[in-house]
Amino acid sequence: MCLGIPGRIIDIDPATATARIDVGGARRDVSVMLVADEVGVGDWVVVHVGFAIAKVDEAEAERTLDLLGDALDAGIDRG
């Protein structure tokens, strides 16, 4: 199974086609070479194995993060 996680771009280095993204407070560096012409600081992207693979709007990103959070919560035994 493949899983893409939405993250917000907070910085881009055009020389290396690398962006720093934020996902719920966690920050990671990812390659944006697949979407470099489409994205900028503040945009949301779907990240898979270290690559931004698509630009998404903020509403879609938030819905996806909410669903992922619900799935994680459902799998946690709180008893």
Q: What is the CATH number of the domain that holds 45?
A: 2.30.30.140
Any bridge partners for residue 47, and if so which? 5, 52
Domain around 33: 5-74
Alpha-carbon dihedral of residues 17, 59, 27, 51, nearest 10 degrees?
Answer: -40
In angstroms, rounded to a whole number, what is the distance separating the alpha carbons of residues 39 and 30? Answer: 13
> Nearest to residue 3, comparing CAs of 50, 36, 39?
50
- Contacts with 61 (C-beta within 8 Å, 6 or more apart), sequence order: 6, 7, 8, 44
pLDDT bracket for residue 1 (50, 70, 90): low
79 belongs to a structural domain: no
19 is a domain residue? yes
Q: In this model, does residue 79 exceed pLDDT 60?
A: no
pLDDT higher than 90, residue 69: no
Domain count, the chain: 1
User: Would 38 be classed as within a structural domain?
Assistant: yes
Task: Dump pLDDT digits (tens) for 10-61.
Answer: 999 999 999 999 998 999 999 999 999 999 999 999 999 999 999 999 999 9
